């Protein structure tokens, strides 16, 4: 009887070990999530797995701003003094980002918005933007990126108008505009 118990225990142990090894091997299938040199994305897999060739899809200026975190020259953007009613979308993936109703003139040289589309009070969980800490401006700031494609859009500052107190300074080349149909 003890011999049978030993054999059954041995078989169960081998099966359990095989299952745990298989599950560990399944867990090892980890995809690196990189967006650019050394920065890890919270939303995207490795760009080599993404089929979009951004350099072919975008103009050189759009590529530098959205994929390499560049900034357009102040007071040069096509949407700086744009007052048409509609929605501003991500130039890379066409996701709606900002409503014209939240746009205002901050006199800073870039189109400015007081809140992202989909924001409810201060809750941005339904908005199509993400905030990311950024130290590239010489001081600690907050970068704004597209939630769907990780495109760099601009920065947000806490010196905007009431009621939000926020100023989203967004590069015009990172946006496309769709007028509201009547």
Q: Please give the positions annotated as active site.
A: 169
The DSSP line for 26-52 is HHT-----EEETTEE-SS---GGG---
H or E segment and range at residue 62? helix 60-68
Largest CA distance in the chain: 89
Distance of CA 170 to the CA centre of its chain: 14
Q: How far apart are CA 129 and CA 152, in angstroms?
A: 10
| Structure-token pair, residue 30 | 């980890």
């Amino acid at each position: 009887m003890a011999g049978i118990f030993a054999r059954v225990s041995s078989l169960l142990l081998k099966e359990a070990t095989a299952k745990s090894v298989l599950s560990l091997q399944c867990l090892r299938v980890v995809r690196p999530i990189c967006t650019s040199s050394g920065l890890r994305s919270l939303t995207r897999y490795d760009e080599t797995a993404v089929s979009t060739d951004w350099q072919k899809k975008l103009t050189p200026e759009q590529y530098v701003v959205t994929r390499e975190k560049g900034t357009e020259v102040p007071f040069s953007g096509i949407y700086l003094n744009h007052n048409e009613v509609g929605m501003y979308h991500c130039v890379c993936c066409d996701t709606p980002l900002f409503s014209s109703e939240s746009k205002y003139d901050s006199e800073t040289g870039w189109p400015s918005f007081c809140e992202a589309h989909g924001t409810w009070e201060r809750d941005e969980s339904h908005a199509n933007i993400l905030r990311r800490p950024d130290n590239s401006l010489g001081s600690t700031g907050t970068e704004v990126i597209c939630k769907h494609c990780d495109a760099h859009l601009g920065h947000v500052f806490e010196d905007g108008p009431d009621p939000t107190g926020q100023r989203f300074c967004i590069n015009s080349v990172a946006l496309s505009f769709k007028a509201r149909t009547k």
